[in-house]
Amino acid sequence: MINGVPVQEHYRDASHQFASAKEGIWLFMATEILMFGGLFVGYLIFHMKYPQMFAEGAQFLDWRLGFVNTLVLIFSSLTMALGIYFCQINQPKKAVWALAITILCGAVFMVIKYFEYTHKFHMGIYPGRMLDLEMLNQHLSSIGKPAIASTNLGMYFGFYFCMSGLHGIHVILGMLMISWCLYRCMRGDFNPNYYTAVEGVGIFWHIIDLVWIFLFPLLYLVG
């Protein structure tokens, strides 16, 4: 321990350790951009190829739910940033509160996602070939709406479930990692010289927000 920082022996000093950790996180974030980016490029290409089918698919999404989820995630990003801030100014109690609210926001986001997903499953909407077009058309005729013209609607929902599902997995993992930070914060591990874990998890949480900022208009608004 040097000035409250548990410096590992293979580092020169605390700032060397912090800089290495940050560099690792940013490398990880570059791979995250590439992972989600591949899906975005695929979406754009197939959107250009089948604009009608994508428009038919997008009408099943309720933009109000996406909008609420956007607000929830932005708020959680703020509380995450505040969690780091309170660690930096040595107020661990406030940091614990900020992190707890962040986890709660993540849970709210996932509950809304759960209702969106189950509503789609209920109508026979599944990704790719699993989409039950007959069941969906039956449902549409029962509520007096025209049947689906595109036979490859499953492709749109393949993108929808993969993109929002991968994002949802990130939210769950983020919540678990914030819980770990919260536990360590309560234990008194962090101080203004050492809060690397909160900083790193914070960057991960913000990239979840960043991806959602693009997913919201892509899936819910442009269709």
Partner 1 sequence: MSDNHNNHHEEHHIMPLATYYKVAGALFLLTFLTVGFHALREYMGPFSALIAFSIAAVKAFLVMAWFMHLKYDKLSNKIIFGSGFIFLALLFVICIMDIYTRLNVNSVL
- Interface positions with partner 1 (CB under 8 A): 3, 14-15, 18-19, 22-23, 26-27, 29-34, 37-38, 40-41, 44-45, 48-49, 63, 67, 70-71, 74-75, 77-78, 80-82, 85, 88-89, 192-193, 199, 202-203, 206-207, 209-210, 213-214, 216-217, 221-222
Q: Which is nearer to partner 1, 81 or 135 (CB)?
A: 81
24 versus 165: smaller Cβ distance to partner 1:
24
Instruction: Check if the beta carbon of residue 207 is closer than 8 Å to that of residue 32.
Output: yes
Give 103 or 208: the residue with its C-beta nearer to partner 1.
Answer: 208
Residue 79: CB atoms within 10 Å: 19
State the nearest-atom distance from the C-beta of 38 to partner 1, in Å. 7
Q: Which amino acid appears at position 19 of this protein?
A: A
Q: Toward partner 1, which CB reaches closer, 19 or 172?
A: 19
Cβ 94 vs Cβ 198: under 8 Å: no
> Who's near 204: CB < 8 A, 6+ residues apart?
25, 28, 29, 170, 174, 177
State the nearest-atom distance from the C-beta of 211 to partner 1, in Å: 9
- Which two tokens mark 171? 């939210």
| Minimum distance from residue 135 beta carbon to partner 1 (Å) | 30
Instruction: Report the nearest approach of partner 1 to the CB of residue 171 (Å).
Output: 15
Residue 5's DSSP bridge partners are 2
- Rounded Cα distance, 160 and 60, in Å: 11
